Amino acid sequence: MQKFDKTVPFDPGYSKISFSFGQQISYIMGAYAQLKTPHQKKFQLMKLEAAILELINKSTAFHLGCMLWGGFLHSRFKNEPKEILRDGSVDLEEREIVEQECAAESKLILEFIYNFDKDCKYFLKKPAKISPFISEILNSYIEFAQINQNFTKVKTTADVKLPKALSHFDKLTNEQLDLLCEKIYSTIELGKMENLLELGFYKND
């Protein structure tokens, strides 16, 4: 496991391999949005489908990774809480805290999935190939952000609250938690955000 002394990082390194779903999906869907005729939309959607699904999976993996890291921090150091080294949001002014919504991108992805599925059913005559697991993760992240007040009050590992999907983390052994930590860091080192979907540990799996 990584060596943690008196502090632990808020971000284990996800920012190195993360991206904006909103910006990426706008770029991918730009030409599609301008099309007028059904046959043009059908053809373009068929071409874009694989890239769209990949983007959704990678973006969802980031949100899952954040929850798994939160689960690790909450449970591994429950008997010896450590200070969390932050990204600066603890020092936000009150107005900025009110405006900040960490789950905004999760909600954006869910909205996009809903519309993408409708388009697939209409133009391709089939539902989008998106596992229910994806929506479950995104909804759990929304809960995660809400119960932690957008993480603005989280200063130590003892402050981290877990969503229902991670309630089983309190039963994990230190060895299991250390294994999760190793897997998270290995995934970040590989630069494969989507691999976070394969780590396990979510919903007692």
- As a three-state string, the secondary structure of 93-155 is CHHHHHHCCCCHHHHHHHHHHHHHHHHHHHHHCCCCCCCHHHHHHHHHHHHHHHHCHHHCCCC
The DSSP bridge partners found for residue 83 are 7, 156
Is 133 a member of any domain?
yes
At residue 172, what is the residue type?
L
Is 7 a member of any domain?
no
Give the count of domains, the chain.
1
Give me 175's structure tokens: 């060895």
Is 3 a member of any domain?
no
Q: Which of 13, 8, 16 is nearest to 73 (CA)?
A: 8
The DSSP bridge partners found for residue 106 are none
Q: Which of 81, 62, 84 is nearest to 151 (CA)?
A: 84
> Contact at 8 Å (CB) between 7 and 20?
no
Q: How far apart are CA 51 and CA 128, in angstroms?
A: 13
Is 124 a member of any domain?
yes
Per-residue pLDDT of 100-153, as tens digits, reads: 688 999 999 999 999 999 999 999 999 999 999 999 999 999 999 999 999 988
Is 192 a member of any domain?
yes
pLDDT band at 97; cut points 50, 70, 90: very low
Query: Is a pLDDT exceeding 80 seen at residue 204?
Result: no
State mean pLDDT over 180-195: 93
What's the domain range around 98? 12-204
Torsion of CA 143, 148, 150, 153, to 10 degrees: 180
The Cβ of residue 99 has, within 10 Å, a number of other Cβ atoms equal to: 10
At residue 112, what is the residue type?
F
Per-residue pLDDT of 27-80, as tens digits, reads: 999 989 888 899 999 999 999 999 999 999 999 999 999 999 999 999 999 999
Is 47 a member of any domain?
yes
Q: How far apart are CA 169 and CA 76, in angstroms?
A: 9
Q: Which of 132, 108, 134 is nearest to 196 (CA)?
A: 134
Residue 180: which H helix or E strand, with range?
helix 174-190
Handedness of CA 55, 56, 58, 62 (dihedral sign): positive
Is 79 a member of any domain?
yes
State mean pLDDT over 10-25: 92
Is 197 a member of any domain?
yes
